Amino acid sequence: MRRAFGLLLIFVLMCGMCAVAAAQEQSGVQNPPKVLVIGREFVKPGRSGMSHAKTESAFVQAMMKANWPVHYVAMDSMSGKNRSLFLTGYDSFDAWEKDMRATEKNTALTTALDQAGVIDGNLLDATDQSVLVYADEMSLRPAVDIAHMRYMEIEVFHVKPGHRQEWTDAVKMVKDAYEKSVPDAHWAMYRLMYGGAGGTFVVFTPMKSVGEVDQMMTASKKFGAALGEDGMKKLSELEAAALDSSEINLFTFNPRMSYAPPEWIKANPEFWKPKTMVASGKATKKEEAGVNPAAAKSTTGQ
């Protein structure tokens, strides 16, 4: 399919159909944050899973003890290099700065996070961080009931220098065609601002089930019909001119390493409030909330 339809078509197929039914069946849909800070931890072979979760429990306890108001979600890779992502959303860069400054002033919290970082670091090969800004004009019906999602598909596009206009035109064609042909299609796109190469765009698609990926197959004919033969040819030309490369990966949410907002836990306690925790083998009531200080790990990418 990639050879037949190109990178952009694969993008809309993967992003357009996933999580549609799940989002509509539940209340509490949320719009994407305007600023997204993502930390990546590349875990050593044999050190992922519960081993990593145990070291993360120290961050969990620190954040819970501080009753920190900013929340995070953690994800583990299901494809590509072995890594965990920690995503933190903010309304603005000013809000991000205020969070950082408040953390610095809380000596007890910073001490606990530093100590946890030393232990956690023994399991890691590397870490990095980046910051993205939401591209509303390139997104389509992005609001979803994230509390009931389980997986996240992330695709990264690298646009050639000097070819931003071709990229913008191509995305507009894709968005318009999907808006007309598949009423429930949606995705959220971000532009990388710090922490990587310029001209990088990232598409996020939350899913309740991996089986939803199968739905993408049903959208290809509708999309092609909406564009028509001339439109498909034009899209291929824009794609060839604009794109340097792309990569797509799948992640699973990890509630034990996430500092989930109270409303998520209330909406879906079976998932966001695990019955077992990892610190010393026995969970406390606070630990069962499944928390992770992505603030201390604020680092973006996939």
pLDDT tens-place string over residues 184-235: 777 899 999 999 999 999 999 888 999 888 776 676 777 888 889 999 999 9
22-76 pLDDT, tens digit per residue, is 334 445 788 999 999 999 999 999 999 999 999 988 887 888 899 999 999 999 9
> Which domains, and CATH codes, for the chain?
2-289 (3.30.70.100)
Instruction: Specify the pLDDT at position 295.
Output: 43
Lookup: tokens for 120: 């956690």
137 or 6: which carries more pLDDT confidence?
137
**Whole-prediction pTM:** 0.83
Q: Give the whole-angstrom CA distance, residue 7 versus residue 147.
A: 30
